Amino acid sequence: MKYFLGIDVGALSTNAVILDVRREIVGYSIVQTGANSTEAAEETLEKALVMANIDRAKITSTVATGYGRISVPFAEKKVTEISCHALGAYYLYPDTGTVIDIGGQDSKVIRVGDGGKVLDFTMNDKCAAGTGRFLEVMAAKLRVSLDELGDLSLQASQEVQISSVCTVFAESEVVSLVAQNHPTEEIIRGLHRSIVNRIWSMVKMLGIRGAVTMSGGVAKNRGVVSLLEERLEQPIHVHTEPQIVGALGAALLALRLAQTAT
Amino acid sequence: MYLIKNLQYHFMKDLGLPALMRFSQRTKKRRPKKLDTCFGPPLTSTGRLKEIMTRHYLLSRYAEGARPVAWVTSGAPVELLRAFEFYTFYPENHGALCGAQKVGSELCEVAEGKGYSQDLCSYARIDLGVCFSGRTPVGKLPKPDLLFASNNICQTVVYWYKVLAYHWKVPLILFDTPYNFKDIADSDISYMVGQLEEMIPVLEEVSGKEFNYQRFQDVIRLAKEASLTWGEVLATMKARPAPMTIFDAFGHLAPIVSLRGLPVALNYYRVLLNELNDRVKKGIGAITDERKRLMWDNIAIWYKVRDLSNRFAERGMNFVAATYTNAWAETISYLDINHPFESLAKAYSLVILNNNLNHRFELMERLVKEYGVDGLVIHSARSCKPYSVGQYDIKRLLMDRLGVPSVVIEADIADSRVFSEEQTRTRLEAFFEAMEA
Ligand SMILES: Nc1ncnc2c1ncn2[C@@H]1O[C@H](COP(=O)(O)OP(=O)(O)OP(=O)(O)O)[C@@H](O)[C@H]1O
Ligand code: SF4
Ligand SMILES: [Mg+2]
């Protein structure tokens, strides 16, 4: 049996997906990238191999993606996240016309055509506003964990308006809101709103087509997803492991690579 | 005194400088060997271009006292000044040169040190930096007797030139062009013609020369013909393979920008056109394996032209059209020697940056069709707000209506501190993947 590996080395998480020849996901893993991306790639691969219960030698081809894609020495090919998220999202939800990936250090909106082909895209990678990093900084300030953000914001009956989009300014704004005794849930909901507004302006640049699929770690945050659904006036597909979508797309490309080679 | 200076100017222009320059022909920087195979043979006209532009800059040293000197914005109707034989200096062109020679950022820093904001156009910051520090790669700038600006390209130039007027203590003439929202009205034209007529006495006084209508008509004719020839030069890139790339055209643009209305510009474009036509006939392309044809939007990223040109050529992608290079082929051709003032007003108020977004979209749509464009690279220039605003709408429209993919690079024209290598690479790679899929 042959297997195909995709590795996505992101700013925050490094993820692997292993596919078999029938394009079924047989193993995956999510680890922190940390300071050494080559080590993170090794670690995530080991874990995915354990889950798939196969030997490393069984991997026929590997495609790497993400900011750290150059630090995966064993990958045959390196492809950008844009192409990989589009392919991965299309594989999971074939009606996908638009992908929104919000990762740790950048966010992107991709318009997807037939077969998961990239038609158009736009990215925000100039600053942390509108990225997962923004939420991490705020969660730390509010002393809540990332997992809790979503539920807390859904509990809020009102929301506080956060006027700065800049992470540094928003942080000091949050400090003063806390000092004014605003409930944490309301502040969190305001922070989510601020992310959603940033994403909304990117979505508007491209225009929405077809179903929307969200990928990247922020898709795990129900608070952000529900506000975005409200704003887009349509439901959003979210896979149970949205962080592996990029690695999945890379694995699909690895499979394609092996097929065209033979 | 004037006579001696004048003689000296003429001697240097016609004999001294050309001889000097032949002497000091520097060895050219060569591109990496492995890339040589991607490009066709270089244009021989480029040598002539370098000669013309170097001579123009060197001549500025002899201009003071021999000629009235004016500093002019790229969109100002310089034809009127030519009738008074001004030596003209283009700070924007000089800013581009500083950018290309990678000294833009340090000159910007000089202006920033004096309190000018980083958000100000880098051409303005570079120019002010040069004024404050006296540093420039061309040696020395000629001191202006007059400043001439038009707000048809942006509002920045109005305030920038006011600072220059204050700094140099010389008069500033401002040509105010109403923005074209839909159609240009007769009242707009007469408003602009009135301004041009009012300039004449000022120009007479500064230059010490009387206005000569016939000479003015001559200049109009030369400018129009040069612009038409420049248009033909660009049109050669409709051929497959295109005989030139837009990255070359960014360089060949210099004479139409800063020597417009002078015989030298027209003559140069005739030579260039001949060479390009010859290449088309022989099927010689700017790059050897032209697989995709692209369009560029906005001003060049001057410090990255060579680098970008290599990156695209490696993949068989050639830039065959640009809204920027097209700007000097578009409206100057409206000039009419029988109605010099009216046609000047029309030509200069309808330039791309003074015209509505719909016009811009239609222009780009036409370029896409005529030049067989497969994709668009959009430079979102931090400096140039009037050029960069609306680009995302255009991007979406081109995708929706023509299915043309595009990529946005956030950068700057001359301030390299704004350029992020990693972010640009990711965007370009994703664009390449989409184009090649
Ligand atoms: N359990 C969770 N609940 C809510 N949000 C989460 C959770 N886990 C991660 N996130 C969010 O996801 C972000 C990281 O996303 P992801 O792992 O997709 O980033 P990445 O791919 O490493 O980054 P990039 O794509 O920018 O290089 C974090 O910044 C955080 O905001
Ligand atoms: S703002 Fe734009 S149009 Fe104005 S001077 Fe700068 S680059 Fe030119
Ligand atoms: Mg990611």
Q: Using one digit for the tens of pLDDT, what is the confidence trace for B292-318?
A: 999 999 999 999 999 999 999 999 999
B111 in any annotated domain: yes
| pLDDT attached to residue B15 | 66
Residues on chain A touching B410 (C-beta within 8 angstroms): 126
Asked if residues B352 and B328 have their Cβ atoms less than 8 Å apart, the reply is no
Question: Is residue A83 predicted with pLDDT exceeding 60?
Answer: yes
Question: Is residue B29 predicted with pLDDT exceeding 70?
Answer: no
The predicted-structure confidence for B59-95, as pLDDT tens digits, reads as follows 888 888 889 999 999 999 999 999 999 999 999 999 9
3-state secondary structure A28-67: EEEEECCCCHHHHHHHHHHHHHHHHCCCHHHEEEEEEECC
| pLDDT attached to residue B27 | 45
Q: How confident is the model at residue B18 (pLDDT cuts 50, 70, 90)?
A: low
The full set of domains in chain A, from first to last, is: 3-126+198-261 (3.30.420.40)
B184 in any annotated domain: yes
CB contact under 8 A, A79 and B433: yes
Name the residues around ion ligand 3, CB cutoff 5 A: A 10, 103
Residues on chain A touching B394 (C-beta within 8 angstroms): none
Question: What mean pLDDT comes out for the span A117-142?
Answer: 88
Residue type, B22: R
Q: Which of A54, A25, A51, A87 minimizes the C-alpha distance to A240?
A: A25
| pLDDT attached to residue B79 | 97
CA distance A214 to A222: 11
| pLDDT attached to residue B19 | 60
| pLDDT attached to residue B24 | 54
B286 in any annotated domain: yes
B31 in any annotated domain: no
The reply to whether ligand 2 has any atom less than 6 angstroms from the CB of B92 is yes
Question: What mean pLDDT comes out for the span B426-431?
Answer: 94
**Ligand 2, closest atom to CA B160?**
5
| pLDDT attached to residue B190 | 98
Per cent of chain B over pLDDT 90 is 86
| pLDDT attached to residue B422 | 86
B27 in any annotated domain: no
Please tell me if residue A207 touches chain B, with a CB cutoff of 8 Å.
Answer: yes
Structural domain span for residue B272: 2-12+38-436
| pLDDT attached to residue B20 | 59
Question: What mean pLDDT comes out for the span A144-165?
Answer: 92
Total number of domains in chain B = 1
| pLDDT attached to residue A207 | 87
Least confident of A97-101, A203-207, B224-228, B259-263: A203-207
Burial label, B4 (beta-carbon count in 10 A; 0-12, 13-18, 19+): exposed
Question: Is residue A113 predicted with pLDDT exceeding 60?
Answer: yes
Asked if residues A259 and A75 have their Cβ atoms less than 8 Å apart, the reply is no
Question: What mean pLDDT comes out for the span B171-190?
Answer: 96
For chain A, the average pLDDT equals 94
Question: What mean pLDDT comes out for the span B217-245?
Answer: 97
Question: What mean pLDDT comes out for the span B380-401?
Answer: 93
Question: Is residue B396 predicted with pLDDT exceeding 70?
Answer: yes
| pLDDT attached to residue B136 | 94
B309 in any annotated domain: yes
Question: What mean pLDDT comes out for the span B49-58?
Answer: 92
Least confident of A118-122, B23-27, B251-255, B359-363: B23-27
Question: What mean pLDDT comes out for the span A94-113?
Answer: 95
| pLDDT attached to residue B57 | 87
CA distance B301 to B415: 9
Q: How confident is the model at residue B208 (pLDDT cuts 50, 70, 90)?
A: very high
Ligand 2 mean position to A20 CA, how many Å?
55
Residues on chain B touching A80 (C-beta within 8 angstroms): 426, 429-430, 433
Q: Any idea which residue has 């790679």 for tokens?
A: B429
| pLDDT attached to residue B22 | 57
B22 in any annotated domain: no
B20 in any annotated domain: no
